[in-house]
Amino acid sequence: MEEEVRKKYLLAGRIAKEVMEYAENLLLKERCTNVLALAEKIEKRIFELGAKPAFPVNISINEIAAHFTPCKSDRMEIKEGDYVKIDLGVHVDGYIADTAKTFRLAGKDELIKCSEEMLKEALKIIRPGIEVREIGRAIYEVAQSYGFNSVANLTGHGLERYDLHAGITVPNIPHGKGVLEEGKAYAIEPFCTPGQGAVKESERAVIYMVLKPKPGRLPETRKILDLAREYHRLPFAKRWLEDKINPIKLNLALNQLVNNGSLRAFPVLKEVSNSSVAQSEHTVLVFDKPIVTTA
């Protein structure tokens, strides 16, 4: 890894850490419980610190495990016992830091502690050449020791410039092939649940990513693709377009672009048994002495 690239990864990590601390203060101290307000303040803070979001901030609550970010019309309020997973990404010139924590207004409990220890134990064994199944084993064994299940079909992932899911995946169970490569960046991302330990797609999608841009019949499809250029094929929120395109036409245009293969939709993911999920995540640069950029 070139030194200039490493510096950008480290800067993205420092900013992501600061933004997560800001988000924690907003939720737990200032009691900012409106999900839309919380998301918009978090994303605004990323820009204020001189970086850009690598993806829309995910604020996934209880059985919703991932891929939820509010739309302008959402009126959701966080309740005392909710498990609130804040998953945020920051990029500096395309070099990404991805981090997540689970919060609860009622206080940290065993499920949250489990997710944090899963991440801690995984990071302890990170080194060049380690098999990803061994990382998954460490994560899985912590979940089992708490009496929970790790979520089998959610994984960590490699990171490349402007590429949020690059190369191999890092499982949360003792499964999979591949090794971590020296000089590469990875997001280590365990999830745990008292439920069955798997997620399924819901019908709603509020996050998209450009694949092979080809305008559809509606003129709004061209406008969406033009606006999406600034995201460099990183995921973007429907919410980011709602002030620019009529909401009804926006829905139709997004559907056209998904159907013609221009966009990938990321459906909201829910735990299959409707059990709550906790998540913890850090980004690590793999060297003989690994660097956790977001810690």
Q: Closest Cα to residue 25, out of 99, 93, 103?
A: 103
Task: State which H helix or E strand residue 113 sits in.
Answer: helix 110-124
pLDDT score for 36: 98
Residue at 139: amino acid letter: I
State the Cα–Cα distance between residues 188 and 286, nearest whole angstrom: 11
Nearest-angstrom CA–CA distance, 27 and 122: 27
Residue 98: strand pairing partners? 89
Q: What is the pLDDT along the chain (295 residues), one digit of tens a residue?
A: 899 999 999 999 999 999 999 999 999 999 999 999 999 999 999 999 999 999 999 999 999 999 999 999 999 999 999 999 999 999 999 999 999 999 999 999 999 999 999 999 999 999 999 999 999 999 999 999 999 999 999 999 999 999 999 989 999 999 999 999 999 999 999 999 999 999 999 999 999 999 999 998 999 999 999 999 999 999 999 999 999 999 999 999 999 999 999 999 999 999 999 999 999 999 999 999 999 999 9
Q: What tokens appear for 286 in the block?
A: 């793999």
Under a CB-based contact definition with an 8 Å cutoff, are residues 275 and 193 in contact? yes
Q: Which residues are catalytic?
A: 87, 98, 157, 165, 189, 281
CATH 3.90.230.10, the chain: domain bounds: 3-198+272-292
Question: What is the chain's length?
Answer: 295
Phi, psi of 13 (to 5 degrees): -65, -40
Sheet holding 263-271, edge to edge: 64-66, 263-271, 199-210, 236-237
Of 120, 114, 123, 40, nearest to 83 (Cα)? 114
Q: Regarding the domain delimited by 3-198+272-292, which CATH topology (the fold level of the hierarchy) does it fall under?
A: Creatine Amidinohydrolase (3.90.230)
Task: Say what the pTM is.
Answer: 0.96
The predicted pLDDT at position 201 comes to 98
pLDDT recorded at residue 67: 98
Report helix, strand and coil shares of the chain as percent, to nearest 5: 35, 30, 35
Class of domain 204-269: mainly alpha
- Residue limits of CATH 1.10.10.10 in the chain: 204-269
How many whole angstroms separate alpha carbon 166 and alpha carbon 159?
Answer: 5
